[in-house]
Structure 1
Amino acid sequence: MMEKIMCPSMMCANFAALEKEVVALDQAGTDIFHLDFMDGQFVPNFAMGIQDLETIRKSTNKLVDVHLMIENPGRYVEKFAEMGVDIIYVHPESDPQITRTLDLIKNQQKKVGIAINPGTSVATIHELLPLVDYVMVMTVNPGFSGQKYLPFVDKKILELTALKADYAFKVMVDGAISPEKIEQLSKIGVDGFVLGTSALFNKDQSYEAILTELKK
């Protein structure tokens, strides 16, 4: 089994010492730093800012992704690309010209990701699968940390893992991802996990100890 991709959700980090957090997570074996951006419209919350991205980007050479939980994300693709992110996730639900936006991400020489809400079916995004490098399934309703995992999304994850070989994308999951969920979902073909308070942050162990154990 290939080693799974571990992506700390930086929304859950200690913002009073963000640079130190990034360095510690980098040294602990982080694969991708995951940053959530929210506009208070697509989701009823706000999270992270441009200065946070600047701090994280200058503090690590690891991959950085941005998850744009915002309306009409195509307006901001070039801005995030200029700031050095590696992967840009957008929601098909938020963009009336989603294929144009995905093409814009690709033209910026960035990896293309789509994130899909719990209520979004695989059928509605099937035509987009040849265009993307990552599909991130939200296993909670987006916008807030600390929610409970929604088990009905497992069927959708199974559908996507069955399709990924045909289209060469990776399946990621985000939301209430515990060590038990990592073990369970790894067995059905999930490639990577966004890690928040359920698995990584606010624990008694070091980041290195936790990430080493999770990657097993």
Structure 2
Amino acid sequence: MPIRPIRIAPSILSADFSRLGDEVRAIDAGGADYIHVDVMDGHFVPNISFGAVVMKAIRAVTTKPFDVHLMISPADAYLADFAAGGADIITIHAEAGPHLHRSLQAIRALGKKAGVALNPATPVSAIQHVIDDVDLVLVMSVNPGFGGQSFIPEALNKLRQAKALIGARPIDLEVDGGVTAANARAIADAGANVLVAGSSIFAGNDASTYAGRIAAIREAATGRVA
């Protein structure tokens, strides 16, 4: 089975919004592989973050892929806006609309990679019939809606199940929630190759610390110094 490279995706939900462009530049320079964009609507999840207009405003400050996680419902009506705003990967939740297959087709028709997110209580079996229509599976290791939560240990078992379902397909397996240098090795061993980290990178919002924190997570996940 091919091994996909470890990628670190800092979540700008934990960035200092008063200087968001500078924060994105800092994680780019610090070694981020993806820029993880968490979009919340106050309906599907109990918080509101920002929309496509804000994301579009920071698109020009980095060439790194925008990994957009839509915690919104319904999602279909906004896919074109996020695609036009510079998203490279658009991930929707399995429960975000009545027709998951149609939504994934719509994302790909926009020329973007399509992802599906699984909440802690959502089984991997929910995506078994669309697995050939996705480019990324996102396992939530916290309940979505807030940053700074602790990793749910059961997520490791779900990662193993998702990895088994993916098999040899060229699909990234991403994990989001409570990711730190302390648990990155266990997460990678369970099969994840894209690690989203928010507060463990942005804590204190001191740009001089970001590169070291990104490197620490990568080193722990890969078992080698970056």
Task: Please indicate, yes or no, whether the TM-score normalized by the shorter chain is above 0.5.
Answer: yes
* 1:15-72 CA-partner distances (Å, limit 9, x unpaired): 1111111111111111110111111111111112334202321110110021111112
> What is the aligned length?
215
**Cα distance in 1 between the residues matched to 2:104 and 2:195:** 22
Deviations 1:135-183 (A, max 9, x none): 0000111001111211122211111112223432111000011112211
Aligned residue type for 2:73: E
Distance 1:62 1:208 in 2: 15
Distance 1:13 1:66 in 2: 15
- Name the counterpart of 2:224: none
Deviates more, 1:165-174 or 1:78-87: 165-174
Distance 1:117 1:140 in 2: 8
Q: For residues 89 and 182 of structure 1, what CA distance do their matches in structure 2 show?
A: 22
Post-superposition shift, 1:213? 2.4
Q: Normalising by structure 2, report the TM-score.
A: 0.90
1:191 aligns with 2:193: yes
Amino acid at match of 1:139: S
The answer on 1:87 being equivalent to 2:99 is no
Contact 1:171 1:191 in 2 (8 A): yes
**Corresponding residue for residue 177 of structure 1:** 179
Go from structure 1 to structure 2 and tell me whether the alpha carbon gap of 1:210 and 1:46 turns closer, same or farther (over 3 Å shift).
Answer: same
Bigger shift: 146-155 or 19-28? 146-155
Q: Extract unaligned runs of 5+ from structure 1.
A: none
Q: 8 Å contact 2:141–2:151 — kept in the other structure?
A: yes
Asked if 1:56 is matched to 2:58, the reply is yes
Contact 2:156 2:190 in 1 (8 A): no
CA contact (8 A) 1:81 1:110 kept: yes
3-state SS, counterpart of residue 179 of structure 1? coil
2:36 alignment counterpart: 34
- SS of residue paired to 2:8: strand
Deviation of the 1:3 alpha carbon: 4.2
Q: Give deviations 1:114-150, integer Å, cap 9, x for gaps.
A: 1110000011211111110000000111001111211
Q: Is 2:122 the counterpart of 1:120?
A: yes
Q: Where do 1:93-172 residues align within 5 Å? A: 93-172=95-174
Separation in structure 1 between the aligned mates of residue 98 and residue 202 of structure 2, nearest angstrom: 35
Tell me how far apart the structure 2 counterparts of residues 11 and 51 of structure 1 sit (CA, whole Å): 15
TM-score by length of 1: 0.94
Structure-2 residue corresponding to 1:4: 6
| Range that drifts further, 89-98 or 49-58 | 49-58
User: In structure 1, how many angstroms separate the alpha carbons of the residues matched to 2:141 and 2:4?
Assistant: 23
Distance 1:163 1:25 in 2: 32
Aligned to 1:214: 217
Kindly indicate whether the alpha-carbon contact (under 8 Å) linking 1:3 and 1:215 is maintained by their aligned counterparts in 2. no
Runs of 4 or more consecutive aligned structure 1 residues displaced over 6 Å after TM superposition = none
Question: Quick one: distance in 1 between partners of 2:39 and 2:140?
Answer: 15
Aligned-pair Cα RMSD in Å: 1.5
Contact 1:40/1:46 (<8 A) preserved: yes
Relative distance call for 1:215 and 1:44 in structure 2 (3 A) is same
